[in-house]
Amino acid sequence: MSISHLSEPSFRLKASHYLWLALFVFVLFLPGRASLPPLDRDEARYMQATSQMLESGNYVDVRFQDKPRYLQPAGIYWLEAFSVKAAYSISHKEVWPYRIPSLFAAVGSVLLTVWIGSLLFDSCIGLLAGIFLAVSVILTAEGRMATIDTTLLFFILLAQTSVAKAWLSRSSVEKSPFHIAAIYWGAIGCGLMLKGPVILIPTLLTPLTLAWVQKDKSWWKQLRPGYGWLISVMIALPWCIAIALISHGQFFTNAVGTNFLGKVASGQQAHGLPPGYYLLVFLIAFWPGSLFTAWSLPFIWMERKTESVKFLLCWIIPHWMVFEVIATKLPHYVLPTYPAIAILTSAALWKISERWHGPISFLGKGLFYFYMILWCLVGVILAVGSVIWAHFMTGEWYYAAMIGAVTVLCLIGYVIYCFCKQNVQRASLFSILAALIVYIQLFVILIPSLQPEWLSYKIARTVHFFKPCQKTVLASASYSEPSLVFLVGKETQLINVMKTAAFLEKNKVCGMALVDRKDQKVFKEYLDKDNISVDLLGEIKGLNYSTGKKLNLGLYKVHSW
């Protein structure tokens, strides 16, 4: 009996079930949204560019400080600007309003995963797949950041839902309703406004690969390709014309020529890595589900010709291969394949575990057990490592988090026990419980306790306390994080030591300088040449989370006689 013949659903999800699931995911992704600092440099750039968009009222030409940000269209900035306006916090440099789009996108992505899984298999499989995606490390991280990728994932899944509907109705003599095609092309148009042509990789490669594998492209007509693309064009074209006129074509040169094609040809920003990278990262990125995907692989391969499995493989494989070939590699580039992987994994777990007990060859078993050991190590690092890290940052032990860590270790042990007893379904449920405890431990207990330690926040508080003028400008020689610009002000100068000293010399009354201890000698020697003395207003110690380096920063201003 193959997967495609398992058509009798054990139960059907109703609208009320989806509402309860949405509430669960919303609550799951809510902690940490306000207490987390900007998690990477790109997030801080998105926040600052959105803040400047709101201040200037220019919703076409996106800028970071005085430089145009011609990397992607303006869609994500519009969504974040709308969220900030709705929260009435434009003048307050709070991070949580900028993260509202990713919160709702994470909820929507989980619901759409459940919907697709229910369409292809049944509601049990869809529900388990959605929960696997919700508790995955990568969505837990991306869903809390004010970046594009979670929102892009939502629109990709919206488009893939339409492709799945068209695929399943291909044998019908009647065309699928027009709204299915409208959702597909509308989602592509919204995706184009988020990250340009990137959305075309999953949304076009899936149907093209299906047509090639199936030797049948007639079902593609269900999506009205003859004129449906006009919907995408109507969404993206107005802004494209506006930015082309304003930037004199520079946006497309930078966004497509430098940013998009540049990533294909060479590794940008030190992210060039060889093929196979995403297979290695998958262990962590899809944890805890990665162990069950590894267990399911042989059976999924045996079932590759069944209709639902074929659809999902035609979704996963082309997208994955494209990004393995592209020189620039980041974990979130293959995030759009994770919902399909979650559905396949759940199908193997829920419907076939009675007939399939994992790899049977000696080599297969050996590889799987090795993978299981690595999976356990990831869990230990997440549970125990986070407690040690918090102690390293603050010097305190958080006993509630330690209890959580012990509980997670016990659950990991029980998951392994369930595997040994061939009860993989139970193992999957307890692994999800372990992940939930890890995230409560991180986002409810540890990270809020660390908020006073984040370096950019400490600098911002110190600058606002000591600033000599209302329009004081800070020059930072030793700490160049974009989050500093977001929290202190868009005029903040991220420059080297010599330029910082020169800046302070020119701005004796209102200027301030931030210099690390190792750079202070050069800084003072430069000023001594012109007999300029400075006052040390305060010292700020902390960890630069982007580089992992501890800094001891001095805040200076010119001495007033």
Tens digit of each residue's pLDDT (9 = 90 or more) over 161-214: 999 999 988 877 677 899 999 999 999 999 999 999 999 999 999 999 999 998
Tell me the longest C-alpha to C-alpha distance in the chain: 89
Contact 495, 477 (CB under 8 A): yes
pLDDT at residue number 134: 98
Please state, rounded to an integer, the average pLDDT across all residues of the chain: 89
- H or E stretch at 553: strand 549-558
Right CATH for 455-558 from 3.40.50, 3.40.190, 3.40.1800, 1.20.120: 3.40.190
Length of the chain (residues)? 561
pLDDT at residue number 398: 94
SS3 556: strand
Tokens of 499: 């330029």
List every span in the chain annotated with CATH 3.40.190.
Answer: 455-558
pLDDT at residue number 6: 42
pLDDT at residue number 559: 85
pTM: 0.93
Nearest Cα neighbor of 413 from 442, 382, 434 is: 434
Contact 243, 299 (CB under 8 A): no
- Res 4 pLDDT > 60: no
Contact 555, 540 (CB under 8 A): yes
Structure confidence by residue, pLDDT tens digits, 383-436: 999 999 889 888 899 999 999 999 999 999 999 999 988 889 999 999 999 999
